[in-house]
Structure 1
């Protein structure tokens, strides 16, 4: 009787999330998410003119203020997923979700408080808060979907290859997560920032996706350096305990 040789299952490692490094990354992750949601209430345009291909607007390029910082959330998500595993990433995603909800719940309470006699910006504040609520709804749905996909894809790819192929995991998970995140966010948030036509919407989606992926690919060498540094400094990363227990 002949037996078929099978390749040994790769050794997959994750660090324990009971670490001061994880706490710092989680704190920065939550701040990035909250600030991005507030910044996203401002729509932006780049390049002057009016260039279209059929119904699709090419110029001006449409984006929002959240694009300045939000790619960092995915970079941090990659770091957490690669070093600490899916359970740790899930915790970070849910904590970030809670901080964003708390932020805008606070804004709603503040908006309802009586303004001082000398306060002249109530209308402007309400305008930002109400548009912000739509942005938050868009961001939260997109964020939960995109971040979970990003983390899941990265961890599943790591389960197949173990340590080699880090750049492929980062690029592949980014593409999947950002595609879902960008489309869902733009579909819900478009009217809140003043997008009214299908051509503008396509521009908004494509520009957002390309920009976020380009930023992450541009800083990938730095992301990989951070990941490798954390792996070398986390004593639990190379421990013999099974990865699924450490994740």
Structure 2
């Protein structure tokens, strides 16, 4: 006599609709972090003396001002994808993209408007917030591709394993999404992909340094913030009535 066992414990992925909980707070925080980071990214920053190994520059570390806050955009993007699924995450990404574009166009109009006669800061304003096509395009393209990949990878892993192994999908999605984002932003804003918009590019060794440092830094921040991400994900799930 033989018996046939049927598996009933297959992993299931649960998502909230986001209509009665804290989805609005997560979404607005996500967009705010994106906009602030894009403004900060207009400044290149370097730390350390000139150090090269076999002709390749190891120091100084080259990054941009957006690095201080932008990793939080991926943390919040992880929360959106983990708790609300791909549909809500995609909507949040498109919302962030649209408002980043609106911000850029607004800066363009303000920069082009004639300054008051007694206002002495036009050149300083233009230097910091003026419309720079390469920076704007790099930010928008990098964000759009990186965040979509981040959400897609996270949701695919969750669909495969259910609620288990949260750390796997958090880290894996960040590695993929941040790599695409960093490569696109750096090569368009300061590398050969953006030269057709005008201006030159930084030397290839410095560009590689910029990409590698930015990518590794953002991934390390995500890993270090895993305890925070776990608690934030759990808190958001508890506040979504239809999650469980």
Q: Which has the higher contact order (CA 8 A, sep 6+)?
A: 1
Query: CA distance change for structure 1 residues 56 and 19 in 2, over 3 Å: closer, same or farther?
Result: farther
Q: Which moved more, 1:125-134 or 1:172-181?
A: 125-134
Show the counterpart of 1:69: 69
CA deviations over 1:86-126 (Å, ceiling 9, x no partner):
00000000000011111111111111111111122222222
How far is the alpha carbon of 1:41 from its aligned partner? 0.6
For 2:168 and 2:7, locate their aligned partners in 1 and report how far apart those are by CA, in whole Å.
24
What does residue 85 of structure 1 align with?
85
Query: 2:188 matched to which residue of 1?
Result: 188
User: What's the counterpart of residue 162 of structure 1?
Assistant: 162
| 1:134 CA drift (Å) | 2.0
Give the conservation status (yes or no) of the 8 Å contact 2:41–2:66.
yes
**1:33 and 2:39 matched:** no
Aligned twin of 2:102: 102
Shift of 1:9: 3.8
Relative to structure 1, is the Cα distance of residues 43 and 131 closer, same or farther in structure 2, using a 3 angstrom cutoff? farther
CA distance in 2 between partners of 1:184 and 1:4 (Å): 50
Alpha carbon RMSD of aligned pairs, Å?
A: 2.2
Equivalent position of 2:139 in the other structure = 139
TM-score of the two chains, using structure 1 as the length reference: 0.89
Residue 120 (structure 1) aligns with: 120
**Conserved 8 A contact 1:57-1:200:** yes
Which residue does the alignment assign to 2:52?
52
Q: Tell me if structure 1 keeps the 8 A contact 2:182–2:215.
A: yes
2:223 matched residue in structure 1: 217
Give 1:185 shift.
0.7
Aligned equivalent of 2:43: 42
Gaps (5+ residues) in structure 1? 239-247
Q: Is the 8 A contact 2:158 2:169 kept in 1?
A: yes
TM-score by length of 2: 0.90
Contact 1:43 1:193 in 2 (8 A): no
What is aligned with 2:194? none
**8 Å contact 2:15–2:85 — kept in the other structure?**
yes
Structure-1 residue corresponding to 2:209: 203
CA distance in 2, matches of 1:223, 1:154: 14
Q: Deviation at 1:10?
A: 2.0
* Cα deviations by residue, 1:177-224 (Å, 9 ceiling, x for unpaired): 111111111101125998621111011001100110111111111101
Residues 45 and 134 from structure 1, CA distance in 2 versus in 1: closer, same or farther, beyond 3 angstroms?
same
Change (3 A) 1:164 1:133: same
The CA deviation at 1:54 is 3.7
8 A contact 1:56–1:202 mirrored in 2: no
2:107 and 2:130 in contact (8 A); partners too: no
Return the alpha-carbon distance in structure 1 between the equivalents of residues 114 and 237 of structure 2.
Answer: 51
Which segment is superposed worse, 125-134 or 135-144? 125-134
Q: Distance in 1 between matches of 2:103 and 2:209?
A: 30
